[in-house]
Amino acid sequence: MTDALLISGLTKSYGDGFEALKGIDLKVPQGDFFALLGPNGAGKSTTLGIVCSLVNKTAGKVEVFGHDIDRELARAKMNLGVVPQEFNFNQFEKVFDIVTTQAGYYGIPLKKARESAEKYLRKLGLWSKRDSPARMLSGGMKRRLMIARALVHEPRLLILDEPTAGVDIELRRSMWTFLEEMNRQGTTIILTTHYLEEAEALCRNIAIIDHGRILRNTSKRELLQQLHVETFVLDTEKAMDSAPALNGYHTRLDGEGALEVDVEKGNGLNEVFAQLDRQGIRVLSMRTKANRLEELFVRMVEENAEGQGLKEVNQ
Amino acid sequence: MSPHAILTAFLTIVIREVRRFTRIWPQTMLPPAVTMTLYFIIFGNLIGSRIGQMGGFDYMAFIVPGLIMMSVITSSYANVVSSFFSMKFQRSIEELLVSPVPNGVILAGYVAGGMARGLSIGVIVTLVSQVFTDFQIHSLALVAVTVVLTSALFSLGGFINAMLATKFDDISIVPTFVLTPLTYLGGVFYSIDLLPEFWQGVSMANPILYMINAFRYGFLGVSDVNVYAALGMILVFIVVLSVACLRMLARGKGIRH
């Protein structure tokens, strides 16, 4: 099966000699929910900008559903929907006009464009705002407007560059649900995000990019297996002044008084509960701390930074 | 894209452009009507009655074609330069860049939008002029061809200005320091026969002189220059500027990193 996105040897150099991308290889299978993670300036937006034709590449090859952007750019674009990081619509246009106009750019006749615009504005909770100028929308609504606009031509590959930046938790969760539903219906999704729990919650495959190079491109599962320690959060019946000492485990209280226990891979949880039971501590509920990917990400980026530093010293 | 899809994309751009300038009509359509009414009252009626005849016609009849053309030129240019630069500034140009619309269609859409505004203003000014004078039409075809080509040419000029502009100042420099002087010195208010021989020669280097005279010939049947040479020159400029615009779009000048 053709990959939704295939990138090989992609480089981007600017006039001042700065190399934003130093030979990126990336493969995103059809139907995937893929995260491209990296610190600021790592090359995420440049990579996606090249795929979307907003940035001219220096060298390399990009294919969208088998369509090379050098030879079949229009076909590649027909398969792409893009939600950029920053608001990029005309603030004075009406919400409905912005979405139908975008459909028109893809050659969709007006009647069908209106139907499709209504479908996605309703799905994203913006139908009641259809006659409002875009500048009157809240930040969260503007983000949803950009998603509706990106979907109006029903692309097979949806690219989202930090779609939930500055969005409150409730809205972020509803956007996750919406994106998961789109993915279940067959849309391949690539997102960049600074919220690593977002990538952990949504994505199946993850690439980590830094200083214009891909550090890792693998499944989330495989990535998380590299963590030797997992943190569990336990809500106890009685509030504690200090964390109880558990033989063989690190413990601490989090900001809200819940007990955090670091458990090394291979060690079961039975011993944790047995020790707590012996100390008369009853556990009401338990969850994993959702920052596992963050730990790994920080570690990888730090290792890469050390490597970069070493290289500079050696040069 | 199929031909039908390309047509849809083209019409989408044109409709959006028309919607834009009609939405802000107090800024785009009213000022030329007011300004030209003042020109007709002051230069045509008050001063013109003392001037007498120009080129064998009443002064009011003489300046009407030039004033119509001046409005068309200014409005066509202003529409494209402000609309396209605003899209660059707000980054909504990215809506077009990520879509499969071919560069030629983007250019054609914006030029058609500029022409729509320029020609609408031309019609409004023509109607206003009817209040002050009854003018004749020597050749309706020549009037139509000249005004359509000139409007297209200055829409292209506005497009190039918008592509090259990096700040709002850049989109007012050309209209203020190039377009307005060339238009005023292009024979809107006088025949170049009135000028000394040297300045007549200098005036012949002003392309707007040819456009205004070709247009005036369509109304009055008199011109300071060869009308067909003027039309040929406009066509050559259109081809040259179109090629320049397409090259800039292909390179992504000012719109892609």
- pLDDT at position A11, please? 94
Mean pLDDT of A165-179: 83
- Closest-CA distance, B31 to chain A, in angstroms, reads 21
Whether residues A54 and B98 touch (CB distance < 8 A) is answered with yes
In order of A132, A205, B211, B226, B233, the CA distances from B207 in angstroms are: 45, 61, 7, 13, 8
Whether residues A107 and B102 touch (CB distance < 8 A) is answered with no
Q: Which residues of chain B lie closer than 8 angstroms to A46, CB-CB?
A: 257
> Which residue type is seen at B229?
A
Q: Tell me whether residue B140 is in a domain.
A: yes
CA A194 – CA A202 distance, rounded (Å): 13
pLDDT tens-digit series, residues A262-302: 887 777 788 899 999 999 999 998 887 755 666 667 667 76
Share of chain A above pLDDT 70, in %: 90
- pLDDT at position A313, please? 36
Whether residues B98 and A91 touch (CB distance < 8 A) is answered with no
- The crossing angle, in degrees rounded to 10, of helices B3-23 and B59-90 is 110
- pLDDT at position A291, please? 56
pTM for this one?
0.82
Which has the closest alpha carbon to A296: A203, A222, A243?
Answer: A222
A63 beta partners: A6, A68
CA B168 – CA B28 distance, rounded (Å): 17
Mean pLDDT of A232-252: 88
Q: Which residues of chain A lie closer than 8 angstroms to B1, CB-CB?
A: 74, 78, 107
Whether residues A53 and B256 touch (CB distance < 8 A) is answered with yes
Whether residues A105 and B99 touch (CB distance < 8 A) is answered with yes
Q: Which residues of chain B lie closer than 8 angstroms to A110, CB-CB?
A: 8
Q: Which residues of chain B lie closer than 8 angstroms to A145, CB-CB?
A: none
**Which of A105, A152, A158 is the best residue to mutate to test the B interface, defined by the most B CB atoms within 10 Å of its own CB?**
A105
Contact B81, B171 (CB under 8 A): yes
Of A56, A75, A106, Cβ closest to residue B256: A56
To the nearest 10°, the Cα dihedral for A171, A177, A181, A184? 140
Q: How many domains does chain B have?
A: 1
- Closest-CA distance, B173 to chain A, in angstroms, reads 24
Question: Minimal Cα distance from A146: which residue of B?
Answer: B95
Q: Which residues of chain A lie closer than 8 angstroms to B19, CB-CB?
A: 97
Q: Higher pLDDT residue, B134 or A146?
A: A146
- pLDDT at position A215, please? 87
Q: Tell me whether residue B257 is in a domain.
A: no
Q: Tell me whether residue B256 is in a domain.
A: no
Q: Tell me whether residue B238 is in a domain.
A: yes
Contact A311, A51 (CB under 8 A): no
- pLDDT tier at A314 (50, 70, 90 boundaries)? very low
CA A270 – CA A307 distance, rounded (Å): 40
Contact B71, B121 (CB under 8 A): yes
CA A305 – CA A309 distance, rounded (Å): 6
- pLDDT tier at A315 (50, 70, 90 boundaries)? very low
Q: Tell me whether residue B88 is in a domain.
A: yes
Cβ neighbours of residue A175 closer than 8 Å, sequence gap 6 or more: A143, A144, A147, A163, A164, A167
Whether residues B100 and A105 touch (CB distance < 8 A) is answered with yes
Q: Higher pLDDT residue, B92 or A196?
A: B92
Tokens 């090249």: give the residue.
A50
Q: Which tokens hold the place of A126?
A: 């913006």
- pLDDT tier at A223 (50, 70, 90 boundaries)? confident
pLDDT tens-digit series, residues B34-88: 998 898 888 877 887 788 788 788 888 888 888 999 999 999 999 999 999 999 9
CA A36 – CA A276 distance, rounded (Å): 40
pLDDT tens-digit series, residues A18-60: 888 999 999 999 999 999 988 888 889 899 999 998 999 999 9
CA A134 – CA A141 distance, rounded (Å): 9
Q: Higher pLDDT residue, B136 or B20?
A: B20
pLDDT tens-digit series, residues B88-131: 998 999 999 999 999 999 999 999 999 999 999 999 999 998 88
Q: Hey, is A102 helix, strand or coil?
A: helix
Contact A304, A210 (CB under 8 A): yes
Q: Which residues of chain A lie closer than 8 angstroms to B94, CB-CB?
A: 54, 82, 84, 88
Q: Which residues of chain B lie closer than 8 angstroms to A102, CB-CB?
A: 95, 99
In order of A244, B108, B116, B242, the CA distances from B245 in angstroms are: 73, 10, 19, 5
Whether residues B100 and A74 touch (CB distance < 8 A) is answered with yes
- pLDDT at position B62, please? 85
| H or E element, residue A85 | none
> Which residue type is seen at A171?
L
- Closest-CA distance, A301 to chain B, in angstroms, reads 26
Percentages helix, strand, coil for chain A (3-state, rounded to 5) are: 40, 30, 35
Q: Which residues of chain B lie closer than 8 angstroms to A92, CB-CB?
A: 23
Per-position b or e across A102-111, b if 16+ CB within 10 A of its CB: bbbbbbbeee
Alpha helices in A187-291 (DSSP H): 196-202, 220-225, 270-278
Q: Tell me whether residue B196 is in a domain.
A: yes
Residues of B with CB under 8 A from a CB of A: 1-2, 4-6, 8-9, 11-13, 15-16, 19, 23, 86-87, 90-92, 94-102, 252, 256-257
Which has the closest alpha carbon to A98: A132, A57, A122?
Answer: A132
Per-position b or e across B56-74, b if 16+ CB within 10 A of its CB: ebbbbbbbbbbbbbbbbbb
- pLDDT at position A224, please? 72
Task: Detail the DSSP E strand segments found in chain B.
Answer: 53-54, 57-58
Share of chain A above pLDDT 90, in %: 48
Whether residues B256 and A54 touch (CB distance < 8 A) is answered with yes
Question: Minimal Cα distance from B20: which residue of A?
Answer: A93
Percentages helix, strand, coil for chain B (3-state, rounded to 5) are: 80, 0, 20
Whether residues A97 and B16 touch (CB distance < 8 A) is answered with yes
Domains of chain A: 5-217 (3.40.50.300), 226-292 (3.30.70)
Task: Detail the DSSP E strand segments found in B38-109.
Answer: 53-54, 57-58
- pLDDT at position A295, please? 65
Q: Hey, is A30 helix, strand or coil?
A: coil
Q: Hey, is A13 helix, strand or coil?
A: strand
Contact A163, A86 (CB under 8 A): no
CA angle, B155 then B251 then B108, to 5°: 30
Q: Which tokens hold the place of A125?
A: 């909770």
- Mean pLDDT score across all residues of chain A: 87
Of B4, B16, B86, Cβ closest to residue A101: B16
Of B8, B96, B97, Cβ closest to residue A108: B8
A307 pLDDT higher than 60: no
Mean pLDDT of A298-313: 58
Which has the closest alpha carbon to A168: A203, A144, A134?
Answer: A144
Q: Tell me whether residue B170 is in a domain.
A: yes
Contact A301, A39 (CB under 8 A): yes
Which residues 239-268 on chain A approach chain B with CB closer than 8 angstroms?
none
**Which of B6, B83, B98, B249 is the best residue to mutate to test the A interface, defined by the most A CB atoms within 10 Å of its own CB?**
B98
pLDDT tens-digit series, residues B201-256: 888 888 888 888 888 889 888 887 888 888 999 999 999 999 999 999 998 877 87
Tell me which residue range forms the domain holding B192.
3-251
